Amino acid sequence: MSQSQPSIHAELSRDLNLFHVTMMGLGMMIGAGVFVGIGLCMGSVGPGGLLLCFALNGLVALFSAMSFAELASAIPRAGGAYNFARIGFGRPASFIAGWMEWLAAGAAGGFYAIVLSQYTLGFFDALGWLGWLPISLEAAERIFGVAAAILFLYVNYRGSSETGKIGALFTVGQMLFVVGIGVVGVVMFFVDPVRIQNFRPFLGGGSWWKLFGAMGVIYVAFEGFEVIAQAGDETINPKKTIPKAILYSVGIVTFTYIAVAFATVVAMRFDHPALENLPMWEWIRSQGDEGSMGFGSAIRHLIPGLGGLLVTLAVIFSATSALNATIYSAARTSYALGRDRMLPAWFAAISRRRRTPYRALLATGVIVLTIAMSLDPKQGAATASIMFLMLFFLVNLCVIRIRRNMGDELEYGYIMPLFPLFPVLAIVLQAFLAGGILLESVVAWGIAGGWVAAGLLVYRFYSRKRAITTADEIHVFQESEHAPQGEVPEAEDYRIMVAIANPDNALQLVQNTYKLCQAKRASVELIHMAPVPSQVPLADAEQYTFAGKEAILETMLYLAPQYPLRTTLRYCRNAARGIVSAVRQRKANMLIMGWHGRRPRSGFLLGSTVDPIVETAPCDVILLKDCGGNQPFRRILVPLAGGPNGALALETAGILADPDEGEITAYTVASPRRPFDVETFVAQHRSRIALPEERIHFEVGQGRDVVRAILRKAEQYDMVVLGGTGDSALRKMTHVPIPETIARRCGKPLVMCRAATGLRSWLKRYF
């Protein structure tokens, strides 16, 4: 007998500490974007608006950084936003996240290539070294930018990239220079306070709405902290280190930017000859393309002699570092899409000699070169910014969804305070920034919209059926289809899904499912979610499916001869999430589940599995408690208080009642505060009740305690069918609803109904 060989688990070396990964983020953020952004913003919204741009952008970035920090602490491995979206929303959102990140990083690379070219050739032109050029300076800048991009595409192909430790040294040098400019500006202000007059007028003729546009254009300067989230596989104690590095980097860069912006404003006295006929902010706008060279011009006056050289060297080194990093990031994103078959496997090809994704680099090069050749700095920055805003928008949605649906499955190293306040604020503010960008660059919005639309088409017609299942998804162990008397199963207009837990309660669902299927003329899917512990590897998970297989086989004996039937065995760490996901995937119209009726643990109304299903399932939900056996239900009590859940309860009671002798009693407890006409309500929904008129009765009870009155009345009946509460989740946390209380305390067979209606259910189905 052969023995199984022990598996060998390979992982990256963990040698990056808090300093290394913090510097990684700062190196991505403190690049040429801030230098060009200062000129673009000050020329648009004035000196005060410039400081507000960086301060408010820092706040917006902090809100999103908190989402990245929480998700990276719970899921500390490479992948970043692409990985978060896959876990939070599944394949479609994951593909769109990777697709957007590819263009975002590629557009940022093209932008950095433009800036590198402008500052380098601008410096040479100031020295008089370019008089021999047979073409215009603008044409030369385009050619030089394209050449720089090609150079760094080749560098990435060769496999030469900065490691965390070496990159940290370069970042420290950049930080010292940038912070040094800020310190010089602050010292200059204290030595010569009259320079504060450069802040008049505060907004420089701009509007507050225009401020959002300026913020959106330079938001690319705050892009970079998300790269830290991708270093989880190489970081020491990532659950603690990664969140700290993300938050520290945003805080450091925000204060640094504000200091440098302040230094730019006070770089020249208001009575300087260059400002004789116009204020500082208008002079900045006159420098270069809409002020893109204004930062360098101001620093030359702040630090006479060396200022121009230092600015040029800083921009060149920052731009080259950022250009290399963004090309690396964009190529790895497209490689990951190809590896997971979201894009053709062509993108995942690795060079045998260099061990680099050369085809992904080639495709990325098309994006980078197109941006560098066709857009000016403002449009390039705006394109990168709008894509990153969309990406961060999705991540903020992911953190809400993952905390809500998977909070009990994950081990968090950092949990943001006041959840979900900060991701909601980030979503709202990012929407304002995106709207502001529309005023500044329609081109950027056009590129972003076209790219996302193209991505949706690619996913719809290519990726959807070819993507590889990952370890984070719900896994299908076994699927089969059955039809009555050997017929081929056909698609039905109405689909019922039955969640089977174990053989002991499987048969109690059969009789009532049979009646519901007959009334709805529905197809049926039996689903069992295998409860595999988190510490068990996926390769050993099949041993946990034996009970589910037995339960499904028992149920099939009764249902398969009568109805089109599909059976599915799936694996998921959280049964509720797996069932809701299956409902969405199969587009089920109704979900039927058994409920044990026992008192749940603290924090739940019906149970840790049932509660989230009832709250999030995008279809009608029917819970059956103690409804087994073959006894007919001749007398059914339906407590009513109005609403769609009550209407579904009436319909369900009419279906489950004995067809020959069954009667239902529509019952309500009188309340002076909330009058309810039970007869009118039943009349409005009469068409849904499959019983003759004479077998429908009405009663109005009396009493202050509604629960006690209904429980006392229920003792006279064979079954109770009631609608679930329509209360919000927040209200349920502070007040136990009446239907759930009755369900827990009632000793009779009981059915609870939750109807899917309106916009909320539509949103649940698709989001």
CATH of the domain at 172: 1.20.1740.10
Determine if residue 749 is left, alpha or beta; phi over 0 gives left, psi from -120 to 50 gives alpha, anything else beta: beta
Given a cut of 80, whether residue 489 has pLDDT beyond it is: no
Q: Final residue of a domain: which of 576, 594, 612?
A: 594
Which ranges in 75-163 belong to alpha helices (H)?
Answer: 80-89, 91-126, 137-158
DSSP 714-749: HTTSSEEEEEPP---HHHHHHS--HHHHHHHH--S-
Q: Which residues are CB-neighbours of 134 under 8 A, at least 6 positions away?
A: none
DSSP string, 220-262: GGGTTHHHHGGGGGGBSSHHHHHHHHHHHHHHHHHHHHHHHHH
Which of 465, 496, 511 lies at the terminal end of a domain, its last residue? 465
User: Do both 443 and 537 map to the same domain?
Assistant: no
Mean pLDDT, the chain, integer: 80
The mean pLDDT of 559-576, rounded to a whole number, is: 68
Dihedral of alpha carbons 732, 734, 736, 737, sign = negative
Report the pLDDT averaged over residues 359-376.
92
Which has the minimum average pLDDT: 296-300, 437-441, 590-594? Answer: 296-300
pLDDT higher than 50, residue 196? yes
pLDDT of 206 > 70? The answer is: no
**Is the confidence at residue 344, as pLDDT, over 60?**
yes
Q: Give the pLDDT of residue 160.
A: 45
Q: Are residues 342 and 252 in the same domain?
A: yes
Q: What is the pLDDT of residue 734?
A: 41
Measured distance CA(422)–CA(416) in Å, rounded: 8
Choosing from 594, 610, 640, the residue where a domain stops is 594
The structural domain count of the chain equals 3
Residues 55 and 86 in one domain: yes
Structure confidence at residue 156 (pLDDT):
78
Least confident of 335-339, 442-446, 635-639, 729-733: 729-733
Answer yes or no: are the C-beta atoms of 354 and 158 closer than 8 Å: yes
pLDDT-derived band at 584, boundaries 50, 70, 90: confident
- Ranges 132-136, 241-245, 733-737: which has the least confidence: 733-737
Is 90 exceeded by the pLDDT of residue 655?
Answer: yes
pLDDT value at 570 more than 60? yes
Highest-confidence segment of 39-53, 547-561, 719-733: 39-53
d(CA 430, CA 428): 6
Average pLDDT over residues 330-357: 85
Res 402: pLDDT: 86
Number of H helices, E strands in the chain: 26, 11
Instruction: Categorize the per-residue pLDDT at 281 as very low, low, confident or very high, splitting at 50, 70 and 90.
Output: confident
Paired tokens of 314 = 């800083």
pLDDT tops 50 at residue 162: no
Q: What is the pLDDT of residue 368?
A: 94
Domain assignment present for 175: yes
Confidence of residue 557 (pLDDT cuts 50, 70, 90): low
pLDDT at site 627: 83
758 assigned to some structural domain: no
Residues 197 and 318 occupy one common structural domain: yes
pLDDT band at residue 90 using 50, 70 and 90 as cut-offs: confident
**Mean pLDDT score, 481-505:** 64
pLDDT the model gives residue 67: 94
Closest by CA to 217, choosing from 382, 439, 45, 44, is 382
506 has pLDDT over 90:
no
Same domain, 239 and 148: yes
Asked whether residue 512 falls in the same domain as residue 640, the answer is: no
Which residues lie closer than 8 Å to 714 by C-beta, 6 or more apart?
A: 637, 720, 742, 746, 748
217 and 349 in a common domain: yes
pLDDT of 550 higher than 90: no
Would 759 be classed as within a structural domain?
no
| Domain shared by 581 and 445, yes or no | no
605 in any annotated domain: no
Q: Do 569 and 638 reside in the same domain of the chain?
A: no
Does residue 659 have a cis peptide bond before it, meaning omega lies within 30 degrees of 0? no
Highest mean pLDDT among 289-303, 451-465, 605-619: 451-465
At residue 395, the pLDDT reads: 93
Q: Is 316 domain-assigned?
A: yes
- Domain residues for the domain of 459 are 18-465
Please tell me which residue, 507 or 20, carries the higher pLDDT value: 20
Give φ, ψ of 293 to 5 degrees: -100, 10
Work out the pLDDT band at 33, boundaries 50, 70, 90: low
**Is residue 726 pLDDT above 60, yes or no?**
no
Would 649 be classed as within a structural domain? yes
Q: Are 96 and 482 in contact (CB under 8 A)?
A: no
Q: Is residue 1 situated within a structural domain?
A: no
User: Using 50, 70 and 90 to split pLDDT, how confident is the model at 676?
Assistant: confident
Q: What are phi and psi of 499, to 5 degrees?
A: -85, 115
Looking up residue 681, the CATH number of its domain turns out to be: 3.40.50.620
> In terms of domains, do 421 and 518 share one?
no
Alpha helices in 352-462 (DSSP H): 358-374, 377-406, 421-440, 442-461
Do 650 and 583 belong together in one domain?
no
Peptide bond into 537 cis (omega under 30): no
Same domain, yes or no: 438 and 518: no
Domain-embedded: residue 381? yes
pTM exceeds 0.85: no
Give CA–CA dist 613/499, Å, rounded: 11
Residue 527's pLDDT band (cuts 50, 70, 90) = confident
Yes or no: say if 664 and 699 are a contact pair by the CB < 8 Å rule.
no
- Residue 533's pLDDT band, with cuts at 50, 70 and 90, is low
What band does 296 get if pLDDT is binned at 50, 70 and 90? confident
Mean pLDDT of 174-186: 81
- 457-474: per-residue pLDDT in tens? 999 999 988 887 665 555
Lowest-pLDDT choice from 102-106, 306-310, 462-466, 636-640: 306-310
Confidence of residue 728 (pLDDT cuts 50, 70, 90): very low
In this prediction, residues 78-88 reach a mean pLDDT of 79
